[in-house]
Amino acid sequence: MDRDQFLIEQINEAVPDAIEEVLEFRGERTLVIAQDHIKKVCQLLKSDKSLNFDLLSDISADDLLPDFPRFAVNYHLYSIPNSQRIRLRVFVEDPDDGPPTMGDIWSIATWLEMEVWDLMGVRFSGNNSLRRLFLPEDWQGHPLRKDYPLGYEEVQFSFNWEEISARKPSPKE
Amino acid sequence: MSEMLSPHSDKVQEVSLEELRAKVGTGMEILDEEEHMLLSMGPQHPSTHGVLRLLLELDGETVVNVAPDIGFLHTGIEKTMESKTFTKALVMTDRMDYLSPMSNNLGYILAVEKLLGVEATPRAQAIRVILTELTRIASHLVWLGTSALDLAAMTLFLYCFREREFIFDIFEMCSGQRMMVSYFRPGGLWRDVPEEFEPAVRQFLDFFPGRIADYEALLKKNPIFLKRTKDIGVVSAEEAVDWGLTGPSLRGSGVNLDFRKAEPYSGYEQYDFDVPLGTDGDIYSRYRCRVEEFWQSMRIIEQALDKLPGGPVNIDNRKIVPPPRSELGRSMEAVIHHFKLWTEGFDAPEGYVYQRVESPRGEFGCYLRGNGGPKPARVHFRTPSYANLASLPNMARGGFVADLVAVIGSIDVVLGDIDR
Amino acid sequence: MGIEQKLGNMGVVTYRFEDVVNWGRSGSMWPILFGLACCAIEMMSMQASHYDMSRFGMELNRPSPRQADLMIVSGRVSRKMAPIVRRLYEQMPSPKWVIAMGDCASCGGIFNNYAIVQGVDEIVPVDVYVGGCPPRPEALIDGILTLHEKVRGEKLQDWA
């Protein structure tokens, strides 16, 4: 754990007021970072030789609907030489004005951010290739949000067989 | 203006150069566009290992640029799991990386157990390790069979699938299902392994080395295979880490990262095994890494079988693990626990965890958030094939189309993993 | 040996044209190489040596739809893939048959959500449904044999 302490001290020295909260749950440490400072923090983590977080494992987004701010973006970082793992969490209030892109720091970030935009709708500023990746190009809406319906189709039993068959599309040939 | 046939309509879709650049991704230049041909290596193709669409820009036979287009197998697994309880959602995890279903199960179950704050019994952990390593062998067998099939070595395909039948018999003996087993449950396993399990696994360990010798005899010194795989699809170590490559594809470039050693889980620290590393970063190094992993997996299985501890397979916490049927006739509390688990499911605390395992393709991570209820509030999977596919343009640019086919085989992508 | 003994001196054998055509069609049906998801792996297992599919005449999987006459939809069909499945079906020349392999192709399977077409019979007409998740290779062989029986009972006017 004193590796994490060293990490927090380095961040506080280089980018003061960046860390809003330090949480620990089940042995994992999370740093909650303000949206304005996340880019500088990530640049520090990647370029500093003693910290050396060279593998960006994942960028994932959370929809915390009844709470405000509604979205949270998690960055999971791993340092191969130091075998150290850290999670950075950024709370995003407006999904169209999300965190800046990390594509110039870790190249894989462009791809991971494409997935977050497609399914959750959080836009990363500076990322030019945000487009529909998983869904067809003309799909409206972002499915993983909590207010998007599941699209559940009613199960056809014998008592409602005809009414569902009438609604179900079927090929003419 | 370039023209590209869209898969969704017969009309030729006019695409401007900016759009094409945007589709292709960052940092890639399109040179001299009038002379290049745009080809869609479509979703239905024998060599793309599933429904992957590749937009190729070709200058004759040379690949100038590759843009992967995915999403043809998007299943909405993450959203569907939010509407099911933790145990019912386990079934969905098998179907993501369908060549190694037990690895996915293990990643998800370890995340659930981490969130609940429990740890499985030593016997369950050892059995999980044995079955996960058997899954690794089965997955690498499919990789070997299909990528050799792409290079037109068809016998190997039949050999590899013959071995898989034996592994499937072992899985069916434990759980009743050949492929999508869902055998691991929060707190342990569904039930203990039967008595025929150990002799069957030992029999497998006896004859399998001879089979590996068969495969090596076909490929290792074969001049056609060497010519098609050496110095092709090279990726350097820094580039690989920058692009988030993990697993045997990363180890083929010489970076020593194996999460079974770096962040051990489920009792892996007790077993003694090596991590095979390649040197050149080409297809041949990745091939050698995966074949060496056969030997290491067999070593782990043998050690786990020798040390297999006795004792119960499930933990005692009746709030999570259902009581055995025999107790239901005798104890009222057992009936109440059974009722609660079957109708509503167990409740998870609030909080979020991230658990990663070393799947045969790389780092498989599961981010799980609970909100006090019986259903996961958010589950996100960091799948290795999604990140590995991002390195494909780097590896394939400048080579021939035939090399592209070999490269796709060597990074071992599974489309269910990418599209979830 | 057997036929000459039964026929004796006859030099001519008569049979209905329809039956000969159906026997030819069922004896060498070529599937299209179309594997979508997990069921495709069981389809590949069925083609390997343990559960051999070439004894039913289906050894060759044609990648091109123009040369195939059986489409085994093996796996889940997502909304993005649906137009492509329809296009492949239309590109196959008649006579053509479709087997919906697995639960996801028959009815949407365990995925009852926005992204999966609930049964491939919303897009293409299906002849045989094979259940299972994934179906065992023996179950798929049973489905194929059912299809062969169906083909042997067809009339020529169906495809004319």
Q: In whole numbers, what is the pLDDT of chain C averaged over residues?
A: 86
Q: Is CATH 3.30.390 the right assignment for the domain spanning B1-72+388-420?
A: yes
- DSSP symbol at C35: B
CA B151 to CA A24: how far, in whole Å? Answer: 50
* Superfamily per CATH, domain A2-167: NADH:ubiquinone oxidoreductase Nqo5 subunit (3.30.460.80)
Answer whether C90's CB lies under 8 Å from C83's CB: no
Q: Is the pLDDT of residue B332 over 50?
A: yes
3-state helix, strand, coil in chain C (%, to 5): 45, 10, 45
**Beta strand pairing status for C70-74 and C97-101?**
parallel
Q: Which of B381, B345, B349 is nearest to A25 (CA)?
A: B349
Cα–Cα distance for residue pair B97/B135, rounded to 1 Å = 11
- pLDDT tens, residue by residue, B108-127: 999 999 998 888 899 999 99
Spell out which residues of chain B touch residue A76, defining contact as CB-CB under 8 Å. 354, 365, 367, 382
How far is Cα B156 from Cα C136, in angstroms, rounded to an integer?
22
For the ranges B31-35, B320-324, C62-66, C110-114, the lowest mean pLDDT is seen at B31-35
- Percent of chain B past pLDDT 90, that is, above it, reads 22
Encoded amino acid at B156, one letter: L
Interchain CB distance below 8 Å, C63 and B178: no
* pLDDT confidence of residue B21: 55
Task: Assess contact for B416 and B97: CB atoms under 8 A.
Answer: yes
The pLDDT assigned to B19 comes to 62
Domain segments of chain C as ranges = 27-153
Q: Give the count of alpha carbons within 13 A of A44, CB side only.
A: 16
CA distance A111 to chain C (A): 19
Neighbours of A146 (CB within 10 A): 14
Q: How far apart are CA B219 and CA B164, in angstroms?
A: 19
Count Cβ neighbours within 10 Å for each residue of A41-68 and write b for 16 or more, e otherwise.
bbebbbeeeebebbbbbbbbbbbbeeee
pLDDT by residue (tens digit) across B225-272? 888 888 888 888 888 888 888 889 888 888 888 888 888 888 888 898
Return the pLDDT at B18.
Answer: 59
Joined together, the tokens standing for residue B162 give 């013959």
Contact yes or no for A168 and C122 at CB 8 A: yes
Question: Three-state DSSP class for A61?
Answer: strand
What strand order describes the sheet that includes C97-101?
C70-74, C97-101, C128-130
Domain ranges of chain B: 1-72+388-420, 77-315+347-382
Residue B137 above 90 pLDDT?
yes
In the DSSP assignment, the letter for residue C127 is: S
Task: Spell out the SS3 assignment of B80-93.
Answer: HHCCCCHHHHHHHH
Nearest to B382 among A25, A57, A131 (CB): A57
pLDDT tens readout for residues B143-165: 998 888 888 888 888 889 888 99
Provide the token pair at B126. 């050892």
Residue B221 binned pLDDT confidence (cut-offs 50, 70, 90): confident
Please give the CATH number for the structural domain made up of C27-153. 3.40.50.12280
Mean pLDDT estimate for chain B = 85
A16 Cα to chain B: minimum distance (Å) = 26
Query: Across the interface, do B352 and A108 touch by the CB < 8 Å criterion?
Result: no
- Most C CBs within 10 Å: which of A156, A167, A170, as the mutation test of the C interface? A170
pLDDT digits (tens, 9 = 90+) for B334-385: 899 888 888 888 888 888 899 999 999 999 999 999 888 888 999 999 999 9
- B162-188, pLDDT tens digit by residue? 889 999 999 999 888 888 888 998 888
The residues of chain A scoring below 70 in pLDDT are 1, 172-173
Report domain B77-315+347-382's class.
Answer: mainly alpha
Chain C: which residues have CB within 8 Å of chain B?
A: 32-38, 40-42, 44-45, 48-50, 61, 63, 65, 75-76, 78-81, 83-84, 87-88, 110-116, 133-134, 136
CA A50/CA A154 separation, integer angstroms: 57
- Chain B CB contacts of A108 under 8 Å are 242-244, 387, 390
Look at B243 and A54 and tell me if their CB atoms are within 8 Å. no
**Contact status, residue B145 vs residue B110, Cβ threshold 8 Å:** no
Q: Give the pLDDT score at A173.
A: 61
**Strand, coil or helix: what is B186?**
coil
Domain extent listing, chain A:
2-167
> What confidence score (pLDDT) does residue B107 get?
92
**B51, B182, B211: best to mutate for the C interface, most C CBs within 10 A:** B51
- Structure-model confidence comparison of residues C139 and A19, the more confident one: C139
Contact between B62 and B352 (Cβ < 8 Å): no
Query: What confidence tier does B419 reach under pLDDT thresholds 50, 70, 90?
Result: confident
The answer to whether residue B302 scores a pLDDT higher than 60 is yes
**Residue B356: DSSP 8-state:** E
DSSP state of C78: B
Cβ distance of B70 and A134 shorter than 8 Å: yes
State pLDDT tens for residues A52-95: 888 888 898 988 888 888 889 999 998 888 888 888 899 888 88
Please say whether the dihedral angle defined by the alpha carbons of residues A160, A161, A162 and A167, taken in this order, is positive or negative.
Answer: positive
The answer to whether residue B65 scores a pLDDT higher than 90 is no
**Confidence (pLDDT) at B16:** 57
Residues 6+ apart with CB under 8 A from C28: C57, C58
**pLDDT tops 50 at residue B28:** no
